[in-house]
Amino acid sequence: MKITKAHINKLEDYLWEIPKSFKPQMRVPARVLASEPLLDAIMEDRSLAQLVNVASLPGIVGASLVMPDVHEGYGFPIGGVAATSYPEGAISPGGIGYDINCGVRLMVSDQKIHTIRDNLEELAKELYAQIPSGMGKGGQIRLSSKDMDTVLSKGAQWAVANGYGAEEDLAFMESKGRLPNADPSMVSDMAKKRGSNQLGTIGSGNHFVEVDYVEEIYDDDIAEAFGLYEGQVVVLIHTGSRGLGHQVATDYIRKMMSAMANYNIEVPDRELCCVPFNSSEGQDYFKAMCAAANFAWCNREVISWEVRTAWQNIFGPDIPLKLMYDVAHNIAKIETHKVNGQEAEVIVHRKGATRAFGPGFEELPLIYKDHGQPVIIPGSMGTCSYVLAGTAKSRELTFGSCCHGAGRRLSRTAAKKQVNAPVLKERLKDEGIFIEAGSFKGIAEEAPIAYKDVNMVVDTVRESGIAKRVAKLRPVAVVKG
Amino acid sequence: MWIEYLPHTADIRMKIRGKTLETLFRNGIIGMGHILKEGFCEKRMSSDLSLKIHVESSDTTCLLVDFLSEVLSASYTEKSIFCKVDFLTLDSSEILAEIHGMRVEVFEEEIKAVTYHEADVHKCEGLWESVVVFDI
């Protein structure tokens, strides 16, 4: 049945609900966090049909949820959150995605934009030279089998121990850059082979390394705690677990497809395949997913080392780049949330959604603890990005989750038809944004026109109260695959 | 049209058809090769790498997706695009095949995975067909 506005109830400003009665298979309602114009845009693709399907997952609690940057995916929508009861509720690899622990980090310099304007083109070229990007380009590191297992167990700690990272970075990563449940023996040889030369690479698609400056501060206290100030030069990195994570997801989705029958589970879309978390298949996947997540944190740390190398080559050895924070937006975590008024452990699947815990969260570095977890929202290469801070209300509304980006609006094909990439590159250069990319095709597919208005997305999460705006970032140099 | 690319907001939705299951699966790898490098499989008649693959799945739809996933993984580990396939066995749940490809310097597109979403191998007006959605 096609979903229309008539099927959707407005619960409060920015929160909409498709009731459980909409479809017999739904175990919980489906909720959309969006302004009305964004909801109208969301209804143009199949996001809501997919959200309704997610509401049928075994053990799902509360509601299936999508953030305002949602778009159609495969099985789960991108920008979705689903919490299932721990330990017997479902774990679904499709609820995490193929790019396990795809995420974003923000590094901050102590330079102001006006001091480096003349170096931007040279800096973009140097970043492009230092950071392998695009498909088929391996990184500088070749992992032995033993080192691969250490990366999968230790995450970003491996990079630090081997001279590719900074010890002080670790405290500023979600889960401190390492999930303890990882078991490298649950990762296939094929996955390890695919990842063996991919540490320090960003890949292609919407992944990037971007130099920005802080254009506007919205909350002085939080910005000060996060170390942000107007005019400051910062670096955004967006990538994940590369081919290793893609293969882990492929391997386990295939396994779960046949294992589901053992648990009498039927799902409306094969990509929602799942098993009980506490089943042997569920545990094997969770341990492999944690290992792939660790690979991703290590990857982003090695890329940071490459960024620092490029920085030193342009600006000299004494210009530090500190890690502000690193967040995952494709992951499953066991967390405690209120379910039906009671505190309960749940398995939170976030696929294209960012954890956004409020003040007091014990994992946060001491200097952030009173302000909430940093949430980093990349926009598109020609618009802007945001730094937000999580709030207590995110726990009430969205299992402590927030949006993860602007969200795609146009298909890649449509973007390529509408965008003349060489012209766009020159136009952006005229605006002071230098792009280095492997192909014009990649520039066209990721053009600003292909994305929703990130300002509308961020306004929605701010006005709904699940995150506070802290700073707006404006791009000046972009490296893409 | 034996291979068509349909609209999808973020990923690639491909529709393939074939007079036989063999041609459907063959069009699957040609269509996937086209995404990895546009036009690559149209030009390449020869190959410099052959691999044997064996896939078993619960049904024909899963077999198509699992087969394409195996070929995709081989593409990445061998840095090759496979445009040709000889089937030694192909039934509703098992494939034994030799795939033939050419090495490439770089791929133009990164396919993260072949998904089961919307895949459904069935006959329509005498032709086998299915949609395959690739995560990009």
CATH number of the domain at A5-409+451-480, please? 3.90.1860.10
* Domain residue extents for chain A: 5-409+451-480
Interchain pair B113, A246: CB under 8 A? yes
Predicted local distance difference test score (pLDDT) of residue A137: 67
A185: helix, strand or coil: helix
Residues of chain A neighbouring B114 (CB-CB closer than 8 A): 250
Q: Which residue of chain B comes nearest to A75, CA vs CA?
A: B117
Residues of chain B neighbouring A99 (CB-CB closer than 8 A): 112, 135
- How far apart (Å, rounded) are the C-alpha atoms in residues B118 and B131? 6
Interchain pair B58, A254: CB under 8 A? no
Predicted local distance difference test score (pLDDT) of residue A43: 94
Predicted local distance difference test score (pLDDT) of residue A136: 62
Quick one: tokens of A283? 């545990």
CA distance A191 to chain B (A): 9
Query: Which stretch of A55-69, A202-216, B41-55 has the lowest confidence by average pLDDT?
Result: B41-55
**A257 touches B at CB < 8 Å:** yes
Confidence category of residue A408, pLDDT binned at 50, 70, 90: confident
Q: Which residue of chain A comes nearest to B67, CA vs CA?
A: A254
**B112 touches A at CB < 8 Å:** yes
Predicted local distance difference test score (pLDDT) of residue A348: 98
Reply yes or no on whether the pLDDT at A377 is more than 90: yes
**A437 touches B at CB < 8 Å:** no
Which stretches of A177-330 are DSSP H helices? Answer: 189-195, 220-226, 242-259, 280-315
CA distance B19 to chain A (A): 26
Interchain pair A411, B79: CB under 8 A? no
Task: Please report which helix (H) or strand (E) contains residue A121, including its range.
Answer: helix A120-130
Interchain pair A136, B107: CB under 8 A? yes
Q: How many CA atoms lie within 13 A of A132 on its CB side?
A: 16
> Tell me, what's the ipTM?
0.92
Interchain pair A74, B79: CB under 8 A? no
- Interval A295-302 mean pLDDT: 98
**A271 touches B at CB < 8 Å:** yes
- Interval A219-240 mean pLDDT: 98
Reply yes or no on whether the pLDDT at A351 is more than 80: yes
Confidence category of residue B11, pLDDT binned at 50, 70, 90: confident
Give the N- to C-terminal CA distance of chain B in Å, as an integer: 23
Residues of chain A neighbouring B69 (CB-CB closer than 8 A): 250, 254
Interchain pair B76, A258: CB under 8 A? no
Portion 104-133 of A in contact with B at CB < 8 A = none
Residues of A annotated as catalytic (active site), given as ranges: 404
- How far apart (Å, rounded) are the C-alpha atoms in residues A172 and A160? 13
Give the best residue of A53, A71, A74 to mutate against chain B (max B CB count within 10 A).
A74
Q: Which residue of chain B comes nearest to A410, CA vs CA?
A: B9
**A188 touches B at CB < 8 Å:** no
Confidence category of residue A231, pLDDT binned at 50, 70, 90: very high
Provide the total of helices (H) and of strands (E) in chain A, helices listed first: 15, 19
Predicted local distance difference test score (pLDDT) of residue B7: 79
Given A71, A204, A273, which is nearest B10 (Cβ)? Answer: A71
Residues of chain B neighbouring A204 (CB-CB closer than 8 A): 109-110
Reply yes or no on whether the pLDDT at B44 is more than 70: no
- How far apart (Å, rounded) are the C-alpha atoms in residues A308 and A475? 18
For chain A, what percent of residues have pLDDT higher than 90? 88
- What domains are defined for chain B? 3-135 (3.55.10.10)
**A270 touches B at CB < 8 Å:** yes
CA distance A216 to chain B (A): 30
For chain A, what percent of residues have pLDDT higher than 70? 99
A 10 A CB-CB count for A215 gives 16
Reply yes or no on whether the pLDDT at A135 is more than 90: no
- Interval A239-256 mean pLDDT: 96
Portion 21-80 of B in contact with A at CB < 8 A = 36, 57-58, 61-62, 66, 69, 73, 76-77, 79
Reply yes or no on whether the pLDDT at A265 is more than 90: yes
**A194 touches B at CB < 8 Å:** yes
Residues of chain A neighbouring B7 (CB-CB closer than 8 A): 411, 413-414
Interchain pair B108, A439: CB under 8 A? yes
Interchain pair A98, B135: CB under 8 A? yes
- How far apart (Å, rounded) are the C-alpha atoms in residues A73 and A71? 6
Reply yes or no on whether the pLDDT at B78 is more than 70: yes
Looking at every residue in chain A, the average pLDDT score rounds to 95
Confidence category of residue A204, pLDDT binned at 50, 70, 90: confident
Residues of chain B neighbouring A102 (CB-CB closer than 8 A): none
Interchain pair A190, B69: CB under 8 A? no
**B129 touches A at CB < 8 Å:** no
Portion 344-373 of A in contact with B at CB < 8 A = none
Residues of chain B neighbouring A273 (CB-CB closer than 8 A): 116
Interchain pair A190, B12: CB under 8 A? no
Predicted local distance difference test score (pLDDT) of residue A334: 98
Does a cis peptide bond (omega within 30 degrees of 0) precede residue A87? Answer: yes
Is the torsion defined by CA of B113, A143, A240, A135 positive or negative?
negative
Give the N- to C-terminal CA distance of chain A in Å, as an integer: 39
Residues of chain B neighbouring A190 (CB-CB closer than 8 A): 73, 77
Size of interface A-B (CB pairs under 8 A): 100
Reply yes or no on whether the pLDDT at B24 is more than 70: yes
Residues of chain A neighbouring B76 (CB-CB closer than 8 A): 194, 243
Predicted local distance difference test score (pLDDT) of residue A311: 97
**B115 touches A at CB < 8 Å:** yes
- How far apart (Å, rounded) are the C-alpha atoms in residues B127 and B26? 14
- How far apart (Å, rounded) are the C-alpha atoms in residues A63 and B66? 32
- How far apart (Å, rounded) are the C-alpha atoms in residues A70 and A48? 9
Interchain pair B73, A247: CB under 8 A? yes
Reply yes or no on whether the pLDDT at A38 is more than 70: yes
Predicted local distance difference test score (pLDDT) of residue B105: 87
